[in-house]
């Protein structure tokens, strides 16, 4: 935003109290949303990691009695990405708090936008890959002769489907965080 006004003592007065207040509001929103996003990825990680179902009846089509997340590499990838993003979001709370204290400092916002973008890509990769496999587990694919396994492993499928929610919530939160930070940088 272009700022104009009288200069005082040869030094430019860049500070506009309205922008200060708006950026402080953005910093608070950033902190709250980041904490919720961290909670979302934590929930996803825990739910996926603790999903475990042992079948009572085993048909000829299924070679495993017990279903866990690591039976499918995509779910291991999902768990890993969620754990990494959860760790990052938790650590980044420190930078977010520093923004609340000093809401006009640009450099922390720039660093957060770049890291948030990378984490958004990573989290979306994990969530989307897991969704593709969850979809296949529910629906199967007749053309490729991949049978749906959710008819057997219903509790397993319910939990892994549920674990995606926290991850997608965090994805949306990251998009909003990047948007807010960008607006805040333009005002600094």
In terms of CB distance, is 43 or 171 closer to a second copy? Answer: 171
Residue 15: which region, alpha, beta or left (left: phi > 0; alpha: psi -120 to 50)? beta
Instruction: Choose between 45 and 81: whose C-beta lies nearer to a second copy.
Output: 81
**Cβ distance to a second copy smaller for residue 38 or 149:** 149
Q: Which is nearer to a second copy, 47 or 67 (CB)?
A: 67
**What's the closest the beta carbon of residue 3 comes to a second copy, in angstroms?**
6
Name the minimum Å distance from CB 118 to a second copy.
6
Long-range contacts from 151-160, C-beta under 8 angstroms, 24+ separation = 152/55, 152/57, 152/59, 152/62, 153/53, 153/55, 153/67, 155/53, 156/51, 156/52, 156/53, 156/67, 159/47, 159/48, 159/51, 159/53, 160/47, 160/48, 160/51, 160/69, 160/75, 160/130, 160/134
Here the tokens at position 150 are 């959710």
Question: From the CB of 50, what's the least distance to a second copy, in Å?
Answer: 18
Please give the residue ranges that form the binding site for a second copy (CB under 8 A). Answer: 1-7, 10-12, 14, 61-64, 67, 71-74, 106, 110, 113-114, 117-118, 120-121, 124-133, 135-137, 139, 141-147, 149, 171, 175, 178-179, 182-183, 185-186, 188
The distance of closest approach from Cβ of residue 4 to a second copy in the complex, given in angstroms and rounded to an integer, is 5
Residue (24 or 62) nearer to a second copy, CB: 62
Minimum distance from CB of 58 to a second copy (Å)?
11
* 32: its two tokens: 């709250």
Alpha-carbon span 43 to 52, nearest angstrom: 16
Q: CB within 8 A of 49, min separation 6: which ones?
A: 69, 79
């Amino acid at each position: 935003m272009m700022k104009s006004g009288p200069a005082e003592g040869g030094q430019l007065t860049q500070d506009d109290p309205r922008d200060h207040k708006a950026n402080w509001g953005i910093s608070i929103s950033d902190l709250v949303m980041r904490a919720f996003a961290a909670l979302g990825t934590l929930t996803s990680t825990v739910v996926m990691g603790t999903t475990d179902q042992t079948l009572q009846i085993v048909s000829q089509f299924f070679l495993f009695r017990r279903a866990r997340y690591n039976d499918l590499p995509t779910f291991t990838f999902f768990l890993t990405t969620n754990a990494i993003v959860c760790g990052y979001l938790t650590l980044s709370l420190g930078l977010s708090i520093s923004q609340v204290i000093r809401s006009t400092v640009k450099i922390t916002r720039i660093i957060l936008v770049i890291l948030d973008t990378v984490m958004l890509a990573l989290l979306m990769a994990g969530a989307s890959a897991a969704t593709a496999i969850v979809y296949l587990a529910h629906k199967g694919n007749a053309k490729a002769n991949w049978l749906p396994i959710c008819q057997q492993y219903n509790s397993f499928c319910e939990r892994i489907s549920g674990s995606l929610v926290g991850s997608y919530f965090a994805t949306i939160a990251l998009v909003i965080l990047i948007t807010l930070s960008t607006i805040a940088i333009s005002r600094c």
